[in-house]
Each structure stands twice: as C-alpha cells, then as structure tokens.
Structure 1
Amino acid sequence: MSDGRCLSISKESVLYSAPFQFDRATIMNLKTDIQQLNNRIDTCRCKLDAAKSRADSEMVSKFTDELEALTKRLNSVKGKQDYDLNKMRKTIADMPFSRELTKLEQADLGKLKKSVKGLVIVHPTTKIGKALRVEVMTGFAPKPF
C-alpha cells in the first residue's frame, strides 16, 4: 500500500494523502524568476533615469513601457508564489494530526522522519511556518506519532 512516498488513509469519508509533496524545482524557479525580474526592473529604472536626464523622449517611453511590463510580470509571479504557499498551507493544515516536537526529536529529525510515514515538519521562521502561525517546530502527520 505504501511505497514510502504516498499513503492514503480514509477517515470519516475524507481522504488524506501523505506525505505531501511539493515540487521544489517549481518553488525555486519562482524565486529565481522574481530575482531576475527585480534585477531587470532595477536596470530598467537606471536606464530610464539616464534617458530622462538626457531628455530623450523616445527612450523614456521605451523604458517606461518596459518597466510597466516587467512590473506586471513580477506581480503575476508573486501571485503564483502566494497561491502555491496557500495551497501548501491548506494541505498541511488539513492533516489530521499535529503536535510540537520535543527537543530530543528535534535533535534527531532523520530518525523521526523515517519512523513516521507522511510526516511534515514546519519551522516557525519559514514562510509556511508563518502562514500556519506556528510558534514552535511542529510535526504534521496523517496519524498520531
């Protein structure tokens, strides 16, 4: 039933799927896209300022249009990132069991992850931790551990 990656548990006609997997490559691609767009926006702003100082109206309009397009694209990518974070937050919050991790468990997370199928550990300083409003390192799982 379990290959170590997916475990399905039916509880009161609700199907929980764990462990919950997110494509880290997609998350990292969004981060790099945001960084690249911010860099391009900075470059465009510098060029726009230079064009304004030269009173080159053709270049000013070109860089203004480019700046608007880049800002629109940046907002789109940030919206996608927020959507993915919210989706991840909902999936973790819907897991039927969660509890604080003891200091001993925190010291040996590898052992804990191997012993509990479908365990998702959330640290309070990460984005997902802040979204879930956890105050201490917390483990979420499909069944008690």
Structure 2
Amino acid sequence: MNLKEELQQLNDKLDKFRRKLAVAEQRGDAGVILQFKREIATVTKRIGSIKGQQDRLLNKEGQDIKNLPFKRELTSQEQANMGQLKKTVKDLVVVHPMTKLGRQMGLTKVTGYAPSAF
C-alpha cells in the first residue's frame, strides 16, 4: 500500500472515530469516550508521521530534479507540443508550478530539467 492510500484510510478511520465519539458524548458513556479519544490520538499521530514521510520524499525528489545539469523555462509553444518535446529530449522532466513538487521547488513557470541542453 502506498502512502497516499494509507493516509486516505487513516483519515477515514479518524472521521469514523470522531462521529462515534460525538454519539458517545451525547449518551454520556465515559468509558467509550475515553477509548475513542485514545484512538483519535493514535490515528492523528500516525497521520502526522505519514505526512512527514511524504514531505521528505517530495523534498528528495525535488533535490534530485534540481541536481540535473540543465534547466530552463518552457515556452508556450513547447508546452502546447509537449509530446514532441519529450520525444526529442531524452530524460526530460517537466515540472508545473501548480503541482506539489512545483510549489515545493518554488517555481513560477513551467520548467524543464534534463541531463543535457535542449
């Protein structure tokens, strides 16, 4: 299971536990309330751990891309004909500024990274 799926499952569990906690608080069942509060705390801690792991992986990927020897912003014509550009430039990595990776790298324009000039 990848991190995204695990994070989604944990968020679903957290939502379920919060709903059950609300029902238990309406009933005034102290034992069940305490149990669900512990469950919520453990799931929240695990969610934080997974988000931290995702951030580390994203930072590592961003550094790997930034270490490629050649980079430049892509023109609108190149962006429109992306298939042809990727066929002509070997190992081209295109990063859009609105993706997670693009925001993490601080990009403002669509940028191409490659091991050789293009």
Both proteins in one fold, TM over 0.5: yes
Which AA in structure 2 matches 1:52?
A: E
Name the structure 1 match of 2:21: 48
Query: 1:38 & 1:90 partners in 2: Cα distance?
Result: 29
Query: 2:5 & 2:85 partners in 1: Cα distance?
Result: 32
Aligned residue for 1:135, secondary structure, equals coil
Name the structure 1 match of 2:109: 136
**Deviations for 1:86-140, whole angstroms, at most 9, x for unmatched residues?**
0011001111110011111111111111111111000010011011111111100
TM-score w.r.t. length of structure 1 = 0.77
Q: Does 1:62 align with 2:35?
A: yes
Higher fraction of helix = 2
5+ residue gaps, structure 2:
none
Aligned residue for 2:91, secondary structure, equals coil
Specify which of 94, 112, 123 is matched with residue 85 of structure 2.
112
TM-score w.r.t. length of structure 2 = 0.94
Aligned residue for 2:6, secondary structure, equals helix
Higher fraction of strand = 1
- Which structure has the higher relative contact order (CA within 8 Å, separation 6+)? 1
Specify which of 59, 66, 71 is matched with residue 44 of structure 2.
71
Name the structure 2 match of 1:94: 67
5+ residue gaps, structure 1:
1-25
**Deviation above 4 Å: which 4+ runs of structure 1?**
none
Structure 1 position 32, deviation (Å): 2.1
Aligned residue for 1:99, secondary structure, equals strand
The two structures, once aligned, show a CA RMSD in angstroms of 1.2
**Deviations for 1:3-26, whole angstroms, at most 9, x for unmatched residues?**
xxxxxxxxxxxxxxxxxxxxxxx7
